[in-house]
Structure 1
């Protein structure tokens, strides 16, 4: 089992790129929203992709080694839930995915509730042309904070680096899927969102209306929004207006403008 986890972790870049290419093709042939094509779409995608690659490189350089040290230290000292109970590998892997996904839900919700964190997270929400590349659009400050918080989480839960890699592979594949500007039938979306977050579900989260923005915080499994009563659906997803009102100006959408998002003087999304 551990060998399989290691192999999945090693295959993560290839699988992530394959999913990205597939979804790019899908939203090109059957888009949900009719966004600008050609050069504008290319520029939008390249900008988001650059942010994602930069964040990934920074994480690999500064944090992966620290996470490994934390995981090894916790295992050697038998600290953390999975180290205390020593469940079979399959149970440990499933438990790790569930615990990491629950944490991701909590972290995402905190990013909406705590004003300081929202200043970074709103860069992700300011994309009015959400597509698969938006899954890469996060401020480096948000990535740094979440990466630092993952260190004590690894120790407390007794996680291995392989657990994190497998979870991120599963989670990011679904994140790319539900950000994609793809046409999917209401029936299929309804069935899929019993288990995972879907495009219709996540479009609600990217709405400019705050009551919708502050809902559907799940990233991989949809169950957390149902458990914590933050689930919301819009039966007419084509009516949803994406983005944030205060970030319509082109200066906010340049690469420099995006990086300056935390210090921009703006309001919270429209509550009316």
Structure 2
């Protein structure tokens, strides 16, 4: 297994390399085999969504002196967390850590729909009027900070191997771009892939304007949590070609601009889409 020093040194280059490769592959795939018709010019959405990524990275680096992989290394050195207190084969510690971290991200996602104040932050992700690879990168900086705080807390509790955290972080970013992509998969391939990972057709349902569909299919990496915990929905009611992407608020092209995205959490009511009795009755 790689040493902590090697993992820490390789993290920036590995994450950037995988990010650029997956982004390029999915963007090309979207051009060659799109799932849905594109109505909004890419220059509007891509320039603003990618500018948001830069802001997110800057805010994250300014907020935390050390991120998840670095904290996992410190936890290992100081004996913090479950896997640093018990003896377990390295492969089991890595595998269990990745699975547990994925479950935590699923639960976090549900929480950001369930709590109105958190939904105000997360709804910016849902307010994209189209669904493509850059939608998977479109998160409010405050949500990114809160998400990292949750990951850091889990690293302290779980004590995962640093390599497990690195694998998870790379997978989370790559699969978020994959399952938000506007790509067409043969139905049989989609059906088989859903057994082991979240597919674009599966996650697209989550970006429907209908509350019952918005509050389903919360998984990013693994598809199992939605099935086990009752939040799985196989297909959108209107079908993938006819379904409406987004939320009822913020439906103009001007709302896709960076300045409007950043202030969306303080605009309008937070009701209607968070998981609540009213939404579940619809």
How many aligned positions are there?
270
1:203–1:240 Cα contact (<8 Å) kept: no
1:130–1:242 Cα contact (<8 Å) kept: yes
1:129–1:242 Cα contact (<8 Å) kept: yes
Q: Which residue of 1 aligns with 2:260?
A: 257
Q: Which residue of 2 aligns with 1:193?
A: 194
Q: Which residue of 2 aligns with 1:13?
A: 16
Is the alpha carbon distance of 1:70 and 1:29 closer, same or farther for their aligned partners in structure 2, counting shifts above 3 Å? closer
Post-superposition CA distance 1:139-180 (Å, at most 9, x none): 011011112222221110013443322101112211111100
Is the alpha carbon distance of 1:256 and 1:70 closer, same or farther for their aligned partners in structure 2, counting shifts above 3 Å? same
Q: Which residue of 2 aligns with 1:268?
A: 272
Q: CA deviation at 1:18?
A: 0.4
Whole-Å separation in 2 of the counterparts to 1:258 and 1:127: 9
Whole-Å separation in 2 of the counterparts to 1:183 and 1:71: 38
Q: Which residue of 1 aligns with 2:88?
A: 87
Whole-Å separation in 2 of the counterparts to 1:8 and 1:76: 19
Unaligned segments of structure 2, at least 5 residues = none
Unaligned segments of structure 1, at least 5 residues = none
4+ aligned runs moved over 6 Å, structure 1: none
Q: Which residue of 2 aligns with 1:27?
A: 30
Q: CA deviation at 1:50?
A: 1.2
Q: Indicate the larger mover: 138-147 or 232-241.
A: 232-241
Q: Which residue of 1 aligns with 2:159?
A: 158
RMSD: 2.2
SS in 1 for 2:216: coil
Q: CA deviation at 1:229?
A: 1.1
Normalising by structure 2, we get a TM-score of 0.88
Whole-Å separation in 2 of the counterparts to 1:73 and 1:56: 22
SS in 2 for 1:65: coil
Q: Indicate the larger mover: 250-259 or 139-148.
A: 250-259
Q: Which residue of 1 aligns with 2:231?
A: 230
Whole-Å separation in 1 of the counterparts to 2:63 and 2:48: 23
Post-superposition CA distance 1:96-130 (Å, at most 9, x none): 11111010000000000011100000000001111
Alignment partner of 1:63 is 2:67? no
SS in 1 for 2:85: helix
1:8–1:166 Cα contact (<8 Å) kept: no
Is the alpha carbon distance of 1:98 and 1:8 closer, same or farther for their aligned partners in structure 2, counting shifts above 3 Å? farther
Whole-Å separation in 2 of the counterparts to 1:21 and 1:157: 34
Whole-Å separation in 1 of the counterparts to 2:261 and 2:68: 28
Whole-Å separation in 1 of the counterparts to 2:231 and 2:159: 29
Q: CA deviation at 1:42?
A: 1.9
2:137–2:176 Cα contact (<8 Å) kept: no
1:202–1:216 Cα contact (<8 Å) kept: yes
Q: Indicate the larger mover: 61-70 or 85-94.
A: 61-70
Whole-Å separation in 2 of the counterparts to 1:153 and 1:189: 32
Whole-Å separation in 2 of the counterparts to 1:202 and 1:72: 33
1:225–1:231 Cα contact (<8 Å) kept: yes
Whole-Å separation in 2 of the counterparts to 1:170 and 1:187: 24
Q: CA deviation at 1:188?
A: 0.9
Q: Going by fraction, where is helix more abundant, 1 or 2?
A: 1
